[in-house]
Amino acid sequence: MKDTEILVGVCGAHMSGLALNWQLTQLDAQLVQKTQTKKGYRLFVLENKDPIRPGMVFDSSSEFQIDVEVWSMPVANFGKFMKQIQSPLCIGSVFLEDGSSVYGFLCESEHVKDAKEISNLKSWRAFIGMQTPMK
């Protein structure tokens, strides 16, 4: 990775082809890899957001790994990206299955206390796929 780039991990609406992916591509971000977090993450549905999106929290007692995409973004654009992130989401260190870490979306733990947990699905795409009515 170049000093002019920053790696950003996304696990929800910012993933390829989903509702907020444009926020990455508009800032010249490029998909680097699809991977998973290390064990220890939990995923919840934040239904009070439009579009709905997940909230991921680290919990060392969790056995789950969550699907993430890693995007490379020019460092010069990272501030513009951060200005679009609203509470309860935030950016922090997300640890990947290979032991590396990236800056990624996390959720303030207070906001997931009453949220529906979907960690067992291991993927936001799996959850939204279940929400699509069958024809």
The stretch 85-105 carries a mean pLDDT of 96
| Tally of structural domains, the chain | 1
Instruction: Over range 17-28, report the average pLDDT.
Output: 96
135, part of any domain: no
What is the band of 130 on the pLDDT scale with cuts at 50, 70, 90? confident
User: Do 45 and 115 contact (CB within 8 A), yes or no?
Assistant: yes
Would 59 be classed as within a structural domain?
A: yes
Q: What is the mean pLDDT of residues 9-35?
A: 97
Predicted confidence at residue 135, as pLDDT, reads: 47
CA nearest neighbour of 121 among 131, 113, 107 = 131
Give the pLDDT of residue 45: 96
Rounded to the nearest integer, the mean pLDDT of the chain is 93
Full domain range(s) for residue 47? 5-130
The amino acid occupying position 9 is G
Q: Which of 48, 122, 123 is nearest to 86 (CA)?
A: 48
CATH number, domain with residue 89: 3.10.490.10
Question: What is the pLDDT, as a whole number, of residue 37?
Answer: 98
